[in-house]
Amino acid sequence: MPGDSSLVAVITGASSGIGAALARRLGRDGFRLVLAARRADALQQVCMDCGTGCKALVVDVTHRDDVERLRDAAIAAFGHVDVWVNNVGRGINVPVLELTEEQFDQMMAVNVKSALYGMQAVVPHFQERGQGHVINVSSFLGRVPIATYRSAYNAAKAALNALTANLRMDL
């Protein structure tokens, strides 16, 4: 795969952390990239680090229409998508008994619904092409909640793991 300039990857949460590091690596390996995040300046910097085969798109992946726009922009730019990385994530430090409804909903929207929207947007494209890879970035805490103060984050990543396993079985 490395060096094959026909490979196209979409990475959400690409403005920093794991997403930015992955984008830079895949850019060095010759992938064409569509990077997505909310922070335009940081996202544009990562895209510049990845070379000429990179497009940056400011999106909020907690909104289904933004995710569909991301998919459509990637296909319009490069003709297809080979790899879709649902990397967006956010955590908060709040124990179970102190969680508000708003905090819990936000953790589910950012860590689960965004990936669900990504899977639902891109998998039909993969099925049509007969190939493609979805990568959902999770956390050890989704399987072993040893940091109880990360309660909603742990729960969200456990839900993401379950959705991922179910999609794998469905496909």
Type of residue at 2: P
Q: How many residues does the chain have?
A: 171
153 assigned to active site? yes
Type of residue at 100: T
Q: Are 152 and 99 a contacting pair, CB within 8 Å?
A: yes
Query: How many Å separate Cα 135 from the centre of its chain?
Result: 8
Q: Of 69, 65, 64, 63, which Cα lies nearest the Cα of 55? A: 69
Secondary structure class of 66 (helix, strand, coil): helix
Which of these is catalytic: 86, 153, 155, 160? Answer: 153
Active site residues: 153
